[in-house]
Chains A and B, each alone.
Chain A
Amino acid sequence: EVRLVESGGGLIQPGGSLRLSCVASGLTVTNSYMSWVRQAPGRGLEWVSSLYTSGNTYYGDSVKGRFTISRDSSKNTLHLQMNSLRVEDTAVYYCARGGGYSNYLYFSVDLWGQGTLVTVSS
């Protein structure tokens, strides 16, 4: 079964740091475009970051300079390091396969994890 399982969410104070993890099974993270997408309470989906098979990384403007996406091939795991967290970062964070563009082809998200809730509050 192809599956993504996130962990690492929780309650954190503004300015703090948190590291999310996404363990993949049935797929190889190094051979897939991988992304993080978040959803604030009662709001729609917002793209956060993508990691390409090439190793190139991309970030949304709201998280650029604060978040870092990475992967651990030995553990087939995707990570999102979140620093300088703000109240507005409060959301469910979803790990997803897809969200990459290459050779005039767009590889949309076609697999979602169950999500992990990050709450930034004092």
Chain B
Amino acid sequence: QPVLTQSSSASASLGSSVKLTCTLSSGHSSFIVAWHQQHPGKAPRYLMNVESRGTYIKGSGVPDRFSGSSSGADRYLTISNLQSEDEADYYCEAWGGNTHVVFGGGTKLTVL
């Protein structure tokens, strides 16, 4: 079963860019990863899928400031021109084999 590893927290200044990382465990570097955003007390929101080649497909209504990329076992979510409303928890998700669906532990993003 793949394990998805995320940093527990990240911070960046208003108007700057931040790159969040989701690392797939050994042997699973070809997996597609989905990114989700969750504001406190709210349901998650699907952002995008990121493939191993670096291509990404965004969900409906996701701002252009959000983009995805990939390098080896790492899948990235980059947010440009950070806004206050981007302060949230971000989770990655992937196929978990026998576990079916696995989530990373989440990254809490603080906008300074």
Residue positions of A touching B, CB distance < 8 A: 35, 37, 44-47, 50, 58, 60, 94, 99, 101, 106, 108-115
Contact = CB atoms under 8 A, between A and B. Distances in A.
Given A47-B103, A106-B94, 4 more contacts: A44-B104, A47-B96, A99-B101, A112-B44
B34 A47 contact: no
B100 A45 contact: no
A104 to B, nearest CB: 10
A101 B93 CA distance: 13
A77 B103 CA distance: 25
B99 interface: yes
16 contacts: A37-B101, A44-B103, A44-B106, A45-B44, A45-B103, A46-B103, A47-B96, A47-B103, A50-B101, A99-B100, A106-B95, A108-B49, A109-B34, A110-B49, A112-B43, A112-B45
B43 A114 contact: yes
Interface of B: 31-32, 34, 36, 43-46, 49, 59, 91, 93-96, 99-106
B59 A110 contact: yes
Contacts of B101: 35, 37, 47, 50, 99, 109
A45 B44 CA distance: 9
Contacts of A101: 95, 100
B46 A44 contact: no
B93 A108 contact: yes
